[in-house]
Amino acid sequence: MTSTATPPGLARFNALEEQAAYTALLEVCASTAWTWRLLAARPYADPDALYAKSDAATAALTEADLAEAMAGHPPIGRPEPGDLTSAREQRGMAGATDELRAEMLELNLAYQEKFGHVFLICATGRTAEEMRDAVRDRLGNPPEEEREIVRTELGKINRIRLTRLVEED
């Protein structure tokens, strides 16, 4: 028999006071537009409803909203001290050689110079070499194509972070 009960983490999120829920969502995605869209749709019946709303909200982000979301992400290989979420997501960089770290720094800077924002990739489960290869490949993209790739990567990151939020006991 399948249980239709709301998972404990989602029930807790649904029950949070608005400011606490807002803060929790901003930790998932730094876009205030995305956060307000998800906040307005509470309570969620199940995680899939939350994920669907997140996907729709990510798709609806304007260029300014997308820039705000990206500003909440540190460069690959350089999470802010105390940023456990980014450190966990970028774990693949932990064993990178000094040479690979230096190359990533150069590639990150080249990317930022070309596109005006941090290189965004769903780093969870990726090796340092995979991330390096991805930034190399994406440096050749036109800005419009890169913006849509960034939106897709942001959606993946948001989903992973939301899953962690609603599955925590």
Helix (H) or strand (E) holding 80: none
Separation CA 43–CA 129 (nearest Å): 41
Instruction: Establish if 112 belongs to a structural domain.
Output: yes
Is a pLDDT exceeding 90 seen at residue 11? Answer: yes
Q: Answer whether residue 1 is part of any domain.
A: no
Question: CB of 55 within 8 A of CB of 100?
Answer: no
Q: Which two tokens stand for residue 147?
A: 């913006």
Residue 94 and residue 51 in contact, taking contact as beta carbons nearer than 8 Å: no
Residue 103's domain spans which residues? 8-167
Structure confidence by residue, pLDDT tens digits, 43-57: 999 999 999 999 999
Q: Please tell me the total count of domains within the chain.
A: 1
Residue 142 or 2, more confident: 142
Residue 42 lies in a domain: yes
Mean pLDDT of the chain: 89
In this prediction, residue 83 carries a pLDDT of: 65
User: Bigger pLDDT: 40 or 124?
Assistant: 40
CATH number, domain containing residue 17: 1.10.3330.10
At residue 97, the 3 state secondary structure works out as coil
Give yes or no for a contact between 54 and 10, defined as CB atoms under 8 angstroms apart. no
Burial of 113 (0-12, 13-18, 19+ CB in 10 A): exposed
pLDDT, residue 73, reads 83
Q: Would 48 be classed as within a structural domain?
A: yes
pLDDT value, residue 29 = 96
Q: Residue 133 domain-assigned?
A: yes
* Structural domain includes residue 41: yes
Q: Report CA-CA distances (Å) from 31 to 65, 102, 116, 126, 132.
A: 6, 30, 17, 24, 26
What is this structure's pTM? 0.90
The answer to whether residue 3 sits within a structural domain is no
Contacts of 87 (CB under 8 A, 6+ apart): 79
